[in-house]
Amino acid sequence: MAERRCTFKCGDWNCGSYQFNLYKADIDQGDLCDVHYWQTKAQREWAGLTDEDEIPWDGVDAKSFARAIEAKLKEKNT
């Protein structure tokens, strides 16, 4: 374990951490420690609503309308 070190670079700074996931063999972290692997994995494009994703107002209360928008965004971003 001690021979593996994180190769994540932020400018001139090199992480060098030895903290690798030791209990999930099916996750290939490459040369990134746990922290940097999950940070880079979590960074992805977020999909917002488009004109085609029209959510009709139809006189519903604002709370129901907000819930409809939230449900549509969750659907697009999972």
Task: Write out pLDDT tens, residues 23-60.
Answer: 666 777 888 888 878 777 766 667 788 888 888 777 87
How high is the mean pLDDT of the chain? 79
User: What's CA 42's distance to the chain center, in Å?
Assistant: 2
Closest CA to 10 of 45, 39, 44, 41: 39
- Percent of the chain whose predicted confidence (pLDDT) is above 70: 86
Phi/psi at 13 (5° precision): -90, 130
Q: What is the pLDDT of residue 22?
A: 64
pLDDT at residue 67 above 50? yes
Average pLDDT over residues 57-70: 85
- If one compares 66 and 29, the residue with the highest pLDDT of the two is 66
